[in-house]
Amino acid sequence: MSDILQSLLTPFHYDYMVRAIWVSALIGGVCGFLSSFVTLKGWSLMGDALSHAVVPGVAIAYILGMPFALGAFVAGLLAAATMAFIKAKSRIREDATIGIVFTTYFAFGLLLISLFPSRVDLKTIILGNILGISDPDIWQVVAISGITLLILGLKWKDLMLFCFDPNQARTLGLPAAALHVTLLALLAATAVAALQAVGACLVVAMLVTPGATAYLVTDRFGKMLGLSSGMGVATSLVGAYASYFFNGATGGCIVTLQTLLFLAAFIFAPKHGILAAKRRVKLSQSS
């Protein structure tokens, strides 16, 4: 028994694993919190777009020797501004606009990486590198996470109303345009933080899956925030821990756990799951 316990505690003997576990948990909690707003607003495509659009910013930052978070954040804001400009100045639908912009930015990022292969690590950008995260990058993640949680904590009711019904928010005197920009900025910043843990390809999963899972479980937004945040923390912590034993990608372990929880909620959720829907159909038929 003691041998089993010792084996289970082995990851905590390594500093890089301890850092990876708690940083992943922090990122997961922030992504889970923001995920509820993304789900309510229907911005899953926006999350996907920003997570890919930051790639050229990261590449340019690496090439110039600047903090990658700065380059990624600027690229994310530029991508969001580009989408807003195209939507305002053309008849193109929002989903097409998002698709055009994020693929363009992502392609430009890949072009930069191919032109400067010795200066930019493609694998780190695409898949993340939480096990090799440096102290400066950790401080960047902590700063981004802290600011994001502070703003969400102070403005969550206003953001909730804006996401649910922007017209009603305007009627009540809320600055809808400012809330729109705030949510976009937080989404870009959080995508930058999550980039370290799971890479550009899987950021969207951490920004969407916890909120979508919580949405199936509860109809109350306050409870949804708690569930999605807790799910983000738990799956990220356990996923980073389990990656040591599987010798697999940390991001892959985290997102796989989140997907399994989503499937469980999709089937077994007491009100909105498949089984609950079948029971309602049977009851209506019998009556």
Q: What pLDDT, on the 0 to 100 scale, is given for residue 6?
A: 79
Domain that holds residue 255: 9-286
> Which two structure tokens, joined as six digits, stand for 28?
């997961």
Looking at the domain assignment, is residue 1 inside a domain?
A: no
Crossing angle (nearest 10°) for helices 68-89 and 94-115: 140
The answer to whether 185 and 193 have CB atoms below 8 angstroms apart is no
* 43 in Cβ contact with 187 (< 8 Å): yes
Six token digits for residue 166: 């922007």
Using an 8 Å Cβ cutoff, are 70 and 139 in contact?
no
Residue 145 domain-assigned (yes or no) = yes
Give phi and psi for 4, each to the nearest 5.
-65, -45
C-alpha–C-alpha distance, residues 287 and 277, integer Å? 16
Contact 242, 233 (CB under 8 A): no
**Location of structure tokens 């910043």:** 189
Q: Which of 263, 32, 243 is nearest to 128 (CA)?
A: 243
Can you spell out the DSSP letters for the chain? -HHHHHHHTGGGGSHHHHHHHHHHHHHHHHHHHHHHHHHHHT-HHHHHHHHHHTHHHHHHHHHHT--HHHHHHHHHHHHHHHHHHHHHHS---HHHHHHHHHHHHHHHHHHHHHHSTTT--HHHHHH--GGG--HHHHHHHHHHHHHHHHHHHHHHHHHHHHHH-HHHHHHTT--HHHHHHHHHHHHHHHHHHHHHHH-TTTHHHHHHHHHHHHHHH-S-HHHHHHHHHHHHHHHHHHHHHHHHHHT--HHHHHHHHHHHHHHHHHHH-TTTSHHHHHHHHHHHHH-
Specify whether the CB–CB gap between 198 and 128 falls below 8 A: yes
Distance of CA 183 to the CA centre of its chain: 13
Asked if residue 263 belongs to a domain, the reply is yes
Q: Is residue 3 part of a domain?
A: no
CATH number (domain holding residue 64): 1.10.3470.10
Residue 120's pLDDT is 61
Number of domains making up the chain: 1
**pLDDT at residue number 169:** 83
- Does the residue 144 lie in any domain? yes
Residue 198: what pLDDT? 77
d(C-alpha 229, C-alpha 266), whole Å = 18
| Other CB atoms within 10 Å distance of the CB of residue 171 | 10
Q: Is residue 66 part of a domain?
A: yes
Answer yes or no: is 4 within a domain: no
Q: What is the pLDDT along the chain (287 residues), one digit of tens a residue?
A: 667 777 778 888 888 899 989 999 999 999 999 999 988 888 877 777 777 788 888 888 888 887 777 888 888 888 888 887 887 788 888 778 888 888 898 888 888 888 877 666 666 777 777 877 778 778 888 888 899 899 988 988 899 888 888 888 888 888 888 888 888 888 888 887 787 777 777 788 888 999 999 999 998 998 999 999 999 999 999 999 998 888 888 888 999 999 999 999 999 988 888 888 888 877 777 76
The predicted pLDDT at position 122 comes to 66
**Dist. CA 211–CA 221, nearest whole Å:** 10
